[in-house]
Structure 1
Amino acid sequence: MKKDRGKVWLGVAGVVINSEGKWLVVKKTYSGLKGVWSLPAGFVKFGETADEAVVREVKEETGLDCEVTGLIGLRTGVIRHEISDNMAIFYCQPMDEHQSFTIQEKEISEVKWLTVEELVHGGEASVMLREMASHELKNHQLMKNEGINPGDVFEYSSYKLFFNKGI
C-alpha cells in the first residue's frame, strides 16, 4: 500500500453533496482514518491534474460519478518535521445521486450519505470532516484553522486547514 511519494505529497478530497444536503462519506480500511467517516480522497498520480484525480478517487472508492464545480480549500501539514503533506479539497456534484455504490473493498469498508448533523455530532467523523461540516460551508470566506490535531497517529508536527466557509 505504501508508495514512494518523496517528501512532498499532493492529495485530493471530494466534498460531494446531494440534493438533500447530505455528504458522501467513506470508511477506510487502513491508516489513521480506519473505521471513521472521511471524504473520498487519494493522491494525485503522474500525468493527471488535481481535479481529474478527485473525480477518479470518488469513482474508485464509491462507484459514484461526479463533476468538480469548485475548490473549497487546502489542508496542509508537515509530518515528523520532514514530509510536506498537502490536500486540495474540491466541491463536487454527483452526476446521478441515486446511482448505487460500488465499494473499493481493499480500501473502503462502507460508503454512505450523511447529514451535517450526523457528521458533527455522530462521533465517527474524522477531525477534518467534522471541522468542515461544523462550519456548514456557507459564508464563502476563507478560514485558516490552526491548532487542530487530527490525531497523534498521523505524527503531524504542523497542521493547518484552509477552507471557504461557504460553497
Structure 2
Amino acid sequence: MKRVDVTYAVIFDDTGEQILLVKNIGETGSYYTLPGGAVEQGETLEEAVIREVKEETNLDIEVGEVFSIAEAFFQKKQEHAVFFTFSGKVIGGDVQVTVPEEIEEIVWMTVQEAEAFINFTIGSNRFEQKSVTVPYIKRGLVK
C-alpha cells in the first residue's frame, strides 16, 4: 500500500460557532469536507494545508496547532492515508470557488451541522474551540 499524507484545516468564523466546509465533486456524488488535500513531495504539513486552503477557498490562513490525526486504509486505491487536521485562522482573502471542476461550493456550517460530514474526528464535541490541541513542531532539515 502506498502512504499518502493529507492535511485539513478547521477554520471557525468570527463568532466561533461556524466552521468552513467545501463541497467536493466526487465520482459517486458530492460530499462536504474541511478544506485541504494531499501533501506534495518536499512540502511540510504546514505548507500543504496553507496551499490547499488557498487553492480551494481563496483564503490565506495562519496554521495553529494540531486538531486531530487520523488514518484510513483505502482498499480500492491501495492507499494508507494519514490525515493531519490543524486549526486555522483566516488572515486574508475572500471566500471564492477557484477550482469549480473540483469544488461545488464553500459554506459556513454550524458545528452541529458540520459534525455530520466530518467522519474522521473523535467525539461528538470535538469541534469545540476549547478542545485540547497539541503543538505542531516543524524541525526543518536535520543533518
Q: Give SS of 2:48's match.
A: helix
Where in structure 1 are there 5+ consecutive unaligned residues? 1-5, 143-167
Q: Give SS of 2:120's match.
A: helix
Where in structure 2 are there 5+ consecutive unaligned residues? 135-143
The answer on whether the counterparts of 1:116 and 1:133 sit within 8 Å (CA) in structure 2 is no
Q: Which amino acid aligns with 1:41?
A: G
Whose helix proportion is higher, 1 or 2?
A: 1
Give the distance between the partners of 2:55 and 2:12, measured in 1 at CA: 17
Q: Which amino acid aligns with 1:92?
A: G
Match of 1:64 among 34, 59, 62: 59
Count of residues in correspondence between the two structures? 131
Match of 1:40 among 35, 43, 48: 35
Match of 1:105 among 82, 97, 100: 100
Q: Give SS of 2:101's match.
A: coil
The 1:92–1:134 alpha-carbon spacing in structure 2 relative to 1, beyond 3 Å, is same
Q: C-alpha root-mean-square deviation of aligned residues, in Å?
A: 2.6
The answer on whether the counterparts of 1:103 and 1:111 sit within 8 Å (CA) in structure 2 is no
The 1:106–1:85 alpha-carbon spacing in structure 2 relative to 1, beyond 3 Å, is same
Q: Does 1:136 align with 2:127?
A: yes
TM-score (normalised: structure 1): 0.67
- The offset of 1:39, in angstroms, is 0.5
The 1:132–1:46 alpha-carbon spacing in structure 2 relative to 1, beyond 3 Å, is farther
Percent of aligned pairs with the same amino acid: 27
Q: Does 1:86 align with 2:78?
A: no
Which residue number in structure 1 is paired with residue 70 of structure 2? 75
The answer on whether the counterparts of 1:58 and 1:66 sit within 8 Å (CA) in structure 2 is yes
